[in-house]
Chain A
Amino acid sequence: MTARPKILIVDDEPDYLAIAARIAAGAGCAVLTAPLALKGVELAEKNEPAMILLDVGLPDISGFEAARRIRAIPALSRTPIIFFTVRSELDMVTEGLKLGAAGYVIKPFDPDELQARIKAAVFPAPR
């Protein structure tokens, strides 16, 4: 039995953080959480999670900026990142996807969809 893959969830809204954490745990992941972007970057560097769920609208720095910093860490340059946000402007979505996001989920999210995306990113289908 291998260790459960780690997932990092960064969101400043406690309710969403709790729901996302429960969904990720249900997908078979060990969950790490951070309420702020900078804390998230720090945790990511220390723990090298298998994937990251990142809120875009965080109070300290934006999720996009956090993603850029995470990408700059060599061990995390290819870690799947899924952005989630309540603001669903076209330019933001385009920007997020351009950053190489593994996905973009708009809040309030569909739990089944989020779980499916987590599973797809953490347990990629064998080729």
Chain B
Amino acid sequence: MKPAASCVTSSPAALAFLKTALEGFRLKFHPSAAAFLKARPRGLAVIDSSLPDMSGRDLVSVLRGDKRTSRLLLVLTGSGPYSPAAAALSLENGADEYFTFPPEPRLFRARLLNLLARAGPGAAASEKPAEYAFGPLRISPEARTVSVGGKRIRLTALEFDLLLYFLRNQGRVVSRTVLLEQVWRQGLEAGPRAVDKRIEALRSRLGPFGAKIRTVFGLGYLFKL
């Protein structure tokens, strides 16, 4: 699985550097502390020490102080000439690594990969997002809410699980049998017709977006954007 990192910076130069140095990573960019916190961060984050709304160091100490975010891997990047005092202070505030910008790309990449490797496969894998966004569709697995174009859509628990399963397996054909096992979770008693009926209901509730769930004749269903 691809390594993942959240990048919190408002600097175009930093953004360009990170894109190049972390090629092959799954990257998410957040222009401010507010945007980053709203996205409910997980995994590894590269944080610019000067953000438009907060200092990176303050953000790191806040994240370390909360049990929901204390286990994040946090890398701070500073600007200007290297200062041992600034580096020490950043680490004392809870950063795992500190670099002055722009770091040597290979060194930067290697340190991040080592951090991820030591943190274990859970952190190295692309994190499950708190909210999936696909064009006009928003789905939050934790809050169990779905909206299309800002309009909330009511689904039954089963329809919700079904949609989530499709989103997590988009681009793959899923058979009725697999759906019965993975979503219905009660073996095959319900029967393949029950799947078809539920999917019809789900499609109609999603409106125009429902057409993204395609029937693959003789095989099952395919969700593709």
B38, B54, B66, B68: the one contacting A105 at CB < 8 Å is: B54
Please report B residues at the A interface, Cβ cutoff 8 Å: 32-34, 37-38, 50, 52-55, 58-59, 61-63, 65-66, 68-69
Query: Is A23 an interface residue when CB atoms closer than 8 A count as contact?
Result: no
List residues of chain A with CB within 8 A of the CB of B58: 88, 104-106
List residues of chain A with CB within 8 A of the CB of B69: 90
* A103–B52 CB distance below 8 A: yes
Known: A90-B65, A93-B33. 11 other contacts (CB 8 A): A88-B65, A89-B66, A90-B69, A93-B37, A93-B62, A97-B53, A102-B53, A103-B52, A103-B53, A104-B58, A116-B50
The CA-CA distance from A68 to B154 in the complex, in Å, is 33
List residues of chain A with CB within 8 A of the CB of B32: 97
The CA-CA distance from A102 to B59 in the complex, in Å, is 15
List residues of chain B with CB within 8 A of the CB of A101: 53
The CA-CA distance from A101 to B53 in the complex, in Å, is 8
Query: Is A15 an interface residue when CB atoms closer than 8 A count as contact?
Result: no
The CA-CA distance from A97 to B32 in the complex, in Å, is 10
The CA-CA distance from A119 to B68 in the complex, in Å, is 34
Total interface residues on A, using CB and 8 Å?
18
In the complex, how many residue pairs between chain A and chain B have their CB atoms under 8 Å apart? Answer: 51
* B66–A90 CB distance below 8 A: yes
* B61–A106 CB distance below 8 A: yes
* Least distance between B204 CB and chain A CB atoms (Å): 36
* B55–A88 CB distance below 8 A: no
B34, B37, B52, B62: the one contacting A88 at CB < 8 Å is: B62
List residues of chain B with CB within 8 A of the CB of A110: 55
The CA-CA distance from A71 to B146 in the complex, in Å, is 31
List residues of chain B with CB within 8 A of the CB of A113: 50, 55
